Structures are given as structure tokens and as C-alpha cells.
Amino acid sequence: MALSKNPDLILMDVEMPRMSGVEACRTLRQNAATKHTPIILLTMRSEEGAVKAGIDSGCSEYMFKPVNEEKLIAVLKKYLK
């Protein structure tokens, strides 16, 4: 979907049915069309290994659920200006 819609920002969950958000992020970073698109991963997983995998995938931000509304708005503004 990101390749056909060319979004300004991608907000996705780490836990998804067909492909994890971490895998999707890695894939999107390898594509020239989405290489620089901000990607925010949302997850309930805060253990060190999960955080490292998320950051290593190339995401712009790794945020924990439940999402703090003010923090999310600040991050969205940071990337959408």
C-alpha cells in the first residue's frame, strides 16, 4: 500500500498478521520510493531485544502502547511539519 499511495508518514503496529512491522519496515527501507518516508512503529513489546529489533529495522520512531496521545501528536508534528 505504501508503494502505491506514497504516504508522507507510515504509522504501523509491530504485530501484524502477514508480516511483522519490523519486517515491513526493513522492506520499505530497501525501496527507493519509501527509503526516507518516516516510519513510526507502535508496540506493546518493550523488552530490550524487541526495541533493538525495531530500531535496527530503520524505523524513525518506536513507540509503546498504550500510546500517550500528546507524545504521538508531538512525533507526528516532528515528521509532518
Going by C-alpha positions, the residue among 3, 71, 76 that lies closest to residue 40 is 76
Domains of the chain plus CATH, in order, are: 2-80 (3.40.50.2300)
Say how far apart CA 24 and CA 70 lie, in whole Å: 26
Query: Does residue 11 have a pLDDT over 90?
Result: yes
Going by C-alpha positions, the residue among 54, 43, 34 that lies closest to residue 13 is 43
Name the residue type at position 61: E
pTM here is: 0.92
| pLDDT tens digit sequence for 13-48 | 999 999 999 999 999 999 999 999 999 999 999 899
Say how far apart CA 48 and CA 31 lie, in whole Å: 27
Query: Does residue 1 have a pLDDT over 90?
Result: no
